[in-house]
Structure 1
Amino acid sequence: MIATCSSLVTGIPVAWLGQSAPGGLIVAPTATLFGGGAIARLRVDHGGQSASGHFTGASDFMRMRQQRYQAPPVDAYLPGDWPGDARPSVSGLDLEAIGDSWLAQFAIGTRLPDLYYRRAPYGDTVTWWFFDTAVTSWATVDSVPGADEFDVRQSGPRRLWDEIHTAWNAWQQAGRPGYERFGLTMTAAGKRTVWLDDPNHHWSPPAH
């Protein structure tokens, strides 16, 4: 089965398992809410209950209509004036290093599948806004050319920038793995898990 439009990594339709021959292949472009996309090449098991395989390279396809995320307005996260109750801190990681790397966005997005971002340029400064789909938490990071430290604001029960930075560090510590080292397993029960090198080495929590 070959798909010609992109689905979320965590949203490849389960129905495709039943529509594929046992032992057959599903080849599908995928993407994350955070950015970055890759082609998944999954082998269906002979019982038709699961499919698993590596990603093969970068991709950029039109998203399935039912999976085009409609983000709520910023006011849904931040009623009132910015920065509200956000806690300030600083970071040594320039967000442009993530913004310039489709692969880095994919690595972070598969580890944190419920996060997305927006970029807001203000002159030379670019403010990165991060949000969770549960509409509970947000963060901003100001990217200033030539700076050594960058202002951070985080609000809500989650510290989104801390989570993103941790995911970035995990990718760095793993040797900045390329697409071909990542893989995906999906089951007929709807569980989808991204892994690194081996299906037993989960890169992200199982997603339903």
Structure 2
Amino acid sequence: MDDPITSLDAENSYEIVEMINELIRQIQSISGDIQLFIFTNSSRAFHDIGYFDPKQKIVGRWTISKNENGMSKVTHIENNNFLNRSDYYKQIFQEVARFAFLSRNKVEELNNGLFYCNKTRILIESHAFSNYNITNATSADKNFSSLIHVYNIPDKQKDLFRKDLDIINSNSHGFSNIDNTILEDEYDNISIQKAIRDIIGILNCKDSDHVECMLGSILDRNKRNILKNWSQNWTN
């Protein structure tokens, strides 16, 4: 159902979702063991379909994501997490963070570090645009000074910040959809992970409450200390 939802304007996509909700209600009224499976890439549809059943007594919800080995993982969404009307950004943040928290040995075993560059680009560009109206944050050189200003990048770290953005930008924009890509030495998994750690550290320095909200469910004491260390490199 991806095309019917994502290719229509807001009003028509709403009508499609309501048609699906009506179908669910009709199935409820039929006696017998009937199951309906709906797959979608639309975060809005994911939350709007079955909105009348927030406790999931009738409509259950699962997400399908890939782990660091490129294997699909199905996860049931708890009721309290479903209350977030659109969790696409949060899901991406957690996927990227899980990669960032991996040990060096684990990262060196992987061949899909490129997969996380595009997701990290979405994070920094979404945050920069939503909060500071900065467009194309990772790719527009004219915006670099604005990023330096709003994220309080120390003078001594400007070159490193630019390099991090270059690594993320040059390995995204579609290329990161290819899971099994052989990276050049300059952009191996370790370099990519380091750039991602820097971006998360910068976001944490700027708005630790935001990062806590996004990652709180996956942060234990050890990871909180690691996150603190990433952030210390970006304080004045």
Question: Could you say whether these structures have the same fold, taking a TM-score greater than 0.5 normalized by the shorter chain as the test?
Answer: no
Decide which structure has greater helix share.
2
TM-score normalised per structure 1: 0.29
Decide which structure has greater strand share.
1
Larger of the two Rg values belongs to structure: 2
Larger RCO (alpha carbons 8 Å, 6+ apart): 1
